[in-house]
Amino acid sequence: MASGLLETIKGWLFKTVMGFLFMLYRMFSSEKPGVSGKRVPPVSDPLLLLSARQLAKKIRRKEVTSVEVVQAYIDRIQEVNPLLNAIVKDRFDAALQEAAQADKLIEEETGGEEVLEDRLPLLGVPLSVKESYAVQGMPFTTGVVSRKGIVATVDSPPVAWLKRAGAIPLGVTNTPELCMWCESHNHLFGITSNPYDLSRGAGGSSGGEGSILGGAGSVIGIGSDIAGSIRMPCFFNGIFGHKTTPGVVTSELQYPPNTGRHEEYVSNGPMCRYAEDLVPVLKIMAGPNAHMLSLDEKVDLKNVRFFTIPDDSGCPWLYPVSKELVDIQKKVVERLEADLGVKVEEVRFPELRNGFKIWNTYMGLPDKDGKPPQPFAELLGEPGRPVWPIWELLKRMVGRSNHTMASIGLAIQEMTCSKPSPLIIQQKEKLQKDLEELVGTDGVFLFPTHPRVVPKHHHPLFRPLDFAYTGVINVLGLPVTQCPLGLNEEGIPMGIQVVTGKMQDRLSLEVALYLEKAFGGWRDPGSI
């Protein structure tokens, strides 16, 4: 009882201090209110409104050329990227050459459309890639100034497999420094904006991907997720994304490398505007491990057990989930029950209120060989010496640091970390057991992605723990499909996490197809 009261007081003090700092920030910041509400222009080319599967079919059937499709996306990127700053380096000339080669291959193919579909399912389709993946000839920096000039010499396996399937990368997209913040901002490439409101962020760490996809500058992309880095950008930008069961899609040739227990919690997966593209892209990204997920196995949603978890049971350090997100989750429950004839049971787990502490504890644990994760301050300095966080903070105050306030804060927080709490480890193990028993092999649960819709630029600095809703799922190792659920009254995307059991990814992916039909899926931000 006393410990609970103390935690409540600490949470209240934390929110009070952050609220005061936020007030000071608003007083002295250079935010431009006039930008609020401005969006990207509407889509004018109908080719941009087709899924990757539809585009691939039309290209194979010679109803449209790959060159025409790729050029349409290049034109769109040139239209919206000056507003979004999502693509940090393009490869347009190479992409057009590869598109011409794809068209030539189709002209010369004698085996028919079925042969092409089987061998090259994404032939001629444009693709965007998070800059933390190695893409041959492209920057490979994850936004760290000291890595400026580092260029990938080979492709990471998921990129290589997608290219081998015929996909054509158009460029690489922005991230926060070292992929460790919920807003894609760094001093190498700048800050990425949201296509639905240019005064808002795009999320992190796959924020550039989320932004360019949401702005219709790409149709399929790939991201990585260790605390919500696929799901938050998908939620904020109104698109679909899938955090795969860990260990299925390789993290080889990504930066930063996984150390300590990180390999157990990081997941890679597709980010798409259309739900029907999730499974085809995931199959390719998984390479030789694709069979582990049984993605071709038919799913009847009427035989799936559904649960809803409305919140984290009241973490005193976080603000409650906003009413509009509570209401949209209730609408999902009502539609599922009405359309499928299922009963969606509401459940709660008190351990979720310690979601941030669970994530933070397990991210700091050593791997099975006893090797701890590489310190964040070391990574920030590579390939040179580690940074000194307090010195960087002082430099930041006079505008001389190469690092963002978010990265400096994380490095300082890492310095002050205490030893793992046995109580937190015990709570995580109980939560793991209870949730795995809940979903089994035929269940899914709905869970908020974030306590609020996408915030304004830099505002996450004053509510830094909001990612707990996604981060705790990483430590639990459960697969999740992030699904858009339309827009709020301001025209800002809403969405939800659909979580299922390990290796049961096909269940949440099937729910995504249903929710797209029920709630409309992605919306063109320029037509609102």
> Which residues are part of the catalytic machinery?
130, 205, 229
Bridge partners for 254 per DSSP: 133
Cis peptide before 386 (omega within 30 of 0): no
Residues 6+ apart with CB under 8 A from 508: 242, 444, 479, 480, 481, 498, 499, 500
Q: How far is Cα 431 from Cα 358, in angstroms, rounded to an integer?
A: 10
Q: Is 493 helix (H, G, I), strand (E, B) or coil?
A: strand
Q: Are strands 193-194 and 305-308 parallel, antiparallel or unpaired?
A: unpaired
- Residue 475 and residue 362 in contact, taking contact as beta carbons nearer than 8 Å: yes
Q: Which residues pair with 245 in a beta bridge?
A: none
Distances in Å between the Cα of 205 and the Cα atoms of 178, 191, 222, 464 are 8, 12, 12, 14
| Cβ burial, residue 225 (10 Å; 0-12/13-18/19+) | buried
CA pseudo-torsion sign 279, 281, 286, 290:
positive
Separation between Cα atoms, residue 136 and residue 344, nearest integer Å: 47
Q: How many residues does the chain have?
A: 528
